Amino acid sequence: MRVVVETSSWVPDGIDIDLPSAARVYDYLLGGGHNFAADRALAEDLGSVLPVRDMARMNRAFLRRAVLFMADAGIGQYVDLGSGIPTVGTVHEVAQQARPGSRVVYVDHERIAVAHSELLLRDNDDAAIIQADMRKPEAILYAPQMRSLVDFTEPVGLLMVGVVQFVPDGDDPWALAARYRDEVATGSYFALSAFTWDNAPAGMAGAVEMFRQSQDPIYPRTRAEITRMFDGYHLVEPGVVYTPQWRPERPEDIEDDVGQSNLYAGVGYKA
């Protein structure tokens, strides 16, 4: 059953509800209620060229497994870049259940994602949201919320899950990943997932055209291009693979799900 939320209670002033947002499309695909008709229409159109509901589900499942892996490795603080609307299975919920007292800082530029996150986190002293573009690391790394919750002299769980496909080559996502890598301490982990052309090039090309009509054009990449974002890290087994292949909880599901993924994912360790 899809959640329905009273619009007036959560929409900031000045939002163009007729221009789709990737964060709200993703929210809709995951069953959330913080989206508009234009977002839902784009999601349905995307479904005609790619299995986007499966892609969203498997990406969210990868996020959960990556956070649990990091928590098991002793990580107690996280930075989630491009966190989106906190629909279900958010980082702080997963991390704080696995390791009580874990601290989480979310970062997103989408105003509805920020507004809803602020409401969700208002009684949680160990989590915060920063409204910022991840392409401006200095503004993020030195924000008061970041400095109050994250100690960069200690290992951090750095997350860029389902977000770098919105960063064009001209903004150098490889250099951006390296800037954040240089900030985190030895012993930190880095989780990333991103859209790829490799699995369904025709369908992904159709999605690229559809996203041109939204706030957030997409830039899918090859496995080699995505793997480059882990430069400076030691890749955790099984390396860069499709989302359901990364340490699955139910190995019997991998074969059926791989063809539906269209996102590569991996986790790196900073030695």
Q: Which range in 88-92, 141-145, 256-260 is most confidently predicted, on average pLDDT?
A: 141-145
pLDDT above 60 for 3: no
Q: Residue 196 has what DSSP assignment?
A: B
Is the pLDDT higher at 84 or at 220? 220
Cβ–Cβ under 8 Å, residues 78 and 104: yes
Is 1 inside any structural domain? no
Instruction: Give the CATH number for residue 249.
Output: 3.40.50.150
Per the CB < 8 A criterion, the answer to whether 145 and 129 are in contact is yes
Residue 219 DSSP SS3: coil
Q: Which of 34-38, 110-114, 216-220 has the highest mean pLDDT?
A: 216-220
Q: So what's the pLDDT on residue 271?
A: 97
Task: Give mean pLDDT, residues 62-70.
Answer: 97
197 falls within a domain:
yes
Domain that holds residue 145: 7-269
d(CA 76, CA 43): 35
Most confident of 17-26, 88-97, 106-115, 167-176: 167-176
| Predicted local distance difference test score (pLDDT) of residue 255 | 64
The residue behind tokens 């290992």 is 155
Q: Which tokens hold the place of 167? A: 């960063």
Whether 2 is covered by a domain: the verdict is no
| pLDDT-based confidence at residue 256 (cuts at 50, 70, 90) | low
What was the pLDDT predicted at 10? 53
Would you say residue 43 lies in a domain?
yes
What length does the chain have? 271
Q: What is the mean pLDDT of the chain?
A: 92
Residue 27 and residue 87 in contact, taking contact as beta carbons nearer than 8 Å: yes
Q: How confident is the model at residue 15 (pLDDT cuts 50, 70, 90)?
A: confident
Whole-number pLDDT of residue 216: 94
The verdict on residue 138 lying in a domain is: yes
Distances (CA, A) of 205 to 170, 201, 202: 19, 6, 5
Give the residue-averaged pLDDT of 109-124: 90
166 band by pLDDT with thresholds 50, 70 and 90: very high
Instruction: Name the least confident of 30-39, 69-78, 146-155.
Output: 30-39
Provide the 3-class DSSP secondary structure of residue 242: strand
pLDDT of 234 > 50? The answer is: yes
Q: Is residue 184 part of a domain?
A: yes
Question: Is the predicted pLDDT of residue 105 greater than 90, yes or no?
Answer: yes
Q: For residue 12, what pLDDT band results from cuts at 50, 70 and 90?
A: low
| Domain annotation covers residue 49 | yes
How many domains in the chain? 1
Residue 48 counted as domain residue: yes
* pTM, entire model: 0.93
Q: Evaluate if residue 202 carries a pLDDT over 50.
A: yes
Residue 8 confidence (pLDDT) above 50: no
